[in-house]
Amino acid sequence: MRISVLDQSPISEGSTGVDALANTLDLARLTDSLGYHRYWLAEHHGGPSLAGPSPEALIGPVAAATSQIRVGSGGVMLPHYAPFKVAETFSVLAGLFPGRIDLGIGRAAGTDPMTTFALQRVRTQAGPDDFPQQLAELLAHYDGGFPPDHPFARLGSTLPGGEEQPDLWLLGSSPQSAIWAAQLGLPYAFADFINPEGETIAAQYHQDFEPSKRLATPRVAVAVTAICADTDEEAQRLAASGRMLITLLRQGRLIPVPPPERALRFLEQQASDPTAGRRAIVGSPETVRAGLEEVASRYGAEEVIVVAITHDHAARRRSYELIADACGITAEPAAAHAD
């Protein structure tokens, strides 16, 4: 089982976005040295909690700061962009860091409706819901899939990375994303930390997968919230920050990541568990390892992507160190680490 990282660049109460971005680079260096397989950067817009609106801007610095770990987007929210621009950007990255760049594509806005509107170039009407067409266009730029007489047919040959291309993944948390991934023969990353009911969706992807020149057999990764500490009790204390964050997010209240003590007081005042229905694997190394293995088995996944939000960056570092040790991952020679 491969273990990877999804970094949302959390902004802790009392710190800044600049601090969060520095922490992203620091965590990338650490997880690279520990032997994690890939490091994905998330895309979120217009809030005080997360400092990662532009994974395409962070991937280069993260890849430059590391040596073995794959680096990519988890993901680029394609409805905000022209497919050719995304193809160009990730061609540049693939050319600069051969064999190490992933392009994870998502459909969600990654923000609220007003911020989505602010991201639109044309604001006379809502943007079209044409994700399948966007995705097909993006793939065609990389694969030469346009008919010869198509006006875009020549553009793929202008991509600066040349033969170097990112590995494309489709991200999702719903049945529709699995249908598209299976039809197109793409690897599929499911966001269990958003929707913990994805086992049947992953099974359907496996069943319906159609081989492509990109991928001969289905490949599933599952992204899971996991926080590890030396004891179950300490891990639960650290996890309170994220639970409070999610609770207020559901109410439309956006805040930086609160300290555990404040979060615990807040959660004690709730009439019921405000994060019921969301899976989080929280505990000692033994607890977390067993939880990750169970989720991977349920999804038929060969890879688990760990999402962790804590108020204290040192605690987040420690969590990833403990998970690496518990799961027995170690850094490999660069040549052996390619996908």
Kindly tell me if the per-residue pLDDT of 125 is higher than 90: no
- Structurally, what CATH architecture does the domain formed by 2-336 represent? Alpha-Beta Barrel (3.20)
Q: Which pLDDT does position 137 carry in this prediction?
A: 97
CA distance 149 to 146: 8
Contact by Cβ (8 Å): 192, 224: yes
Give the domain ranges of the chain: 2-336
**Rg, the chain, Cα only:** 20
Q: What is the pLDDT of residues 261-320, one digit of tens each?
A: 999 999 999 877 767 667 899 999 999 999 999 999 999 999 999 999 999 999 999 999
Q: Which pLDDT does position 339 carry in this prediction?
A: 62
CA distance 99 to 93: 10
* 131 residue type, one letter: F
CA distance 141 to 146: 8
Kindly tell me if the per-residue pLDDT of 244 is higher than 90: yes
Backbone angles phi, psi at 304, to 5 degrees: -115, 130
Q: Return the SS3 of 101.
A: strand
Kindly tell me if the per-residue pLDDT of 213 is higher than 70: yes
Contact by Cβ (8 Å): 105, 131: no
Q: What is the pLDDT of residues 11-67, one digit of tens each?
A: 999 999 999 999 999 999 999 999 999 999 999 999 999 999 999 999 999 999 999
- Smallest Cα–Cα separation from 329: which of 104, 337, 239? 337
What are the helix and strand counts (H, E) for the chain? 11, 9
Give the number of C-alpha atoms closer than 13 A to the C-alpha of residue 66, restricted to the C-beta side.
35
Task: Please state, for a pLDDT cut of 70, what percent of the chain lies above it.
Answer: 97
Structural tokens at position 76: 């680029």
Q: What is the pLDDT of residues 69-105, one digit of tens each?
A: 999 999 999 999 999 999 999 999 999 999 999 999 9
Q: Quick one: pLDDT band at residue 338, thresholds 50, 70, 90? A: low
The helix or strand, by DSSP H or E, that contains position 65, with its residue range, turns out to be helix 55-65
* 198 residue type, one letter: G
